[in-house]
């Protein structure tokens, strides 16, 4: 049976990137272009995604005629709300609500932004619909062996089962009528997921701040608000903003950390 076939309550977790969008397309094709009633597509918006990410989600739902539930964390019960492309937060409001509530910043060890803004937000949404048990389909490719190995056993990874690699995903989008529109470089989309996520490699963050210094303002503001930093092994975002105007070799090593957010 096709790894994309769905026959029980399932959440298709759509990160808003090319890989998860490709997974959604293949799942639609496996069901003759229309998802079964058991399937729900969820996109969790943190408010720090690039506008191109929101545009891709919207393009998918309109061009492929598929219902996508846009979800955002909120501090008040039921701790989530549904929004739309037009009403989705675009200045980090859900993320800010979380750090304000916790009075603490997430970090590489305690990545509660991923769990609260995405994983638990989906779970709360599903429970509100009376679904306490369901499968979660995630867009992890066959060439992401480390991410796949770390993923919980209860997650479905159809792209892994189908032996889909990055080159397959990129080939699809080159031939498609619409695309994410963000640069794909050195095997990654630098501006994908949260724009300056602290899990991205240091040189990648430094480069992005150099190109888009205004994007660091929100992150620096979060650190100032809490009185701490997202990481203790690299300079604060405010410092990186200053460094970006003075030098180009602030970091000697590259390498980021993957999370549930996906590509």
Identify whether 217 is part of a domain: no
Q: How many structural domains comprise the chain? A: 1
| The pLDDT value given to residue 186 | 80
CATH number of the CATH domain containing 148:
3.40.50.620
Edge-first strand order for the sheet with 155-156 is 80-83, 68-73, 39-44, 10-13, 135-137, 155-156
Contacts from 64-68 at CB under 8 Å and sequence distance 24+?
Answer: 64/24, 64/25, 64/28, 64/33, 65/33, 65/34, 66/24, 66/28, 66/34, 66/35, 66/41, 67/40, 67/41, 68/14, 68/41, 68/42, 68/43
| The pLDDT value given to residue 185 | 86
| The pLDDT value given to residue 252 | 42
Identify whether 156 is part of a domain: yes
User: For the chain, what is the total number of helices (H) and then of strands (E)?
Assistant: 11, 6
Identify whether 188 is part of a domain: no
| The pLDDT value given to residue 253 | 42
Query: Please, is 67 exposed, middle or buried when counting C-beta atoms within 10 Å of its C-beta (0-12, 13-18, 19+)?
Result: exposed
| The pLDDT value given to residue 45 | 98
Identify whether 163 is part of a domain: yes
The residues of the chain scoring below 70 in pLDDT are 245-263
Identify whether 66 is part of a domain: yes
- Please count the CA atoms within 13 angstroms of the CA of 242 that sit on its side-chain side: 5
Could you tell me the residue range of the domain that residue 51 belongs to?
A: 10-175
Identify whether 96 is part of a domain: yes
Identify whether 160 is part of a domain: yes
Query: Please, is 120 exposed, middle or buried when counting C-beta atoms within 10 Å of its C-beta (0-12, 13-18, 19+)?
Result: middle
Q: What is the CA radius of gyration of the chain?
A: 18
| The pLDDT value given to residue 261 | 65
**Paired strand residues for 155:** 136
Residues 6 or more apart whose Cβ sits within 8 Å of residue 13 = 20, 42, 44, 118, 122, 136, 137, 138, 139, 260, 262
Identify whether 49 is part of a domain: yes
Strand, coil or helix: 80: strand
CA-to-CA distance for 83 and 229, rounded, in angstroms? Answer: 30
């Amino acid at each position: 049976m096709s790894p994309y076939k769905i026959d029980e309550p399932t959440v298709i977790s759509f990160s808003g990137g090319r890989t998860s969008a490709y997974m959604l397309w293949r799942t639609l094709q496996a069901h003759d272009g229309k998802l079964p009633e058991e399937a729900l597509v969820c996109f969790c918006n943190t408010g720090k995604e690039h506008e191109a990410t929101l545009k891709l989600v919207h393009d998918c739902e309109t061009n492929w005629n598929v219902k996508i539930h846009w979800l955002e964390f909120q501090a008040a019960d039921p701790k989530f709300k549904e929004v739309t492309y037009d009403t989705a937060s675009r200045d980090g409001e859900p993320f800010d609500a979380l750090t304000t509530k916790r009075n603490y910043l997430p970090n590489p060890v305690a990545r509660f932004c991923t769990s609260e803004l995405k994983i638990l937000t989906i779970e709360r949404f599903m429970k509100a619909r009376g679904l306490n048990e369901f499968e979660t389909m995630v867009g992890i490719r066959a060439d992401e062996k480390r991410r796949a190995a770390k993923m919980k056993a209860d997650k479905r990874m159809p792209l892994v089962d189908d032996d889909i690699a990055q080159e397959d995903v990129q080939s699809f989008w080159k031939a498609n009528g619409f695309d994410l529109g963000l640069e794909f470089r050195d095997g990654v989309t630098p501006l994908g997921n949260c724009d300056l996520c602290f899990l991205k490699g240091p040189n990648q963050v430094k480069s992005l701040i150099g190109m888009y210094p205004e994007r660091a303002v929100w992150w620096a503001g979060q650190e100032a608000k809490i009185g701490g930093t997202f990481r203790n092994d690299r300079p604060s975002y405010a410092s990186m903003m200053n460094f970006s105007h003075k030098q180009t070799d602030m970091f000697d090593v590259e390498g980021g950390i993957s999370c549930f957010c996906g590509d």
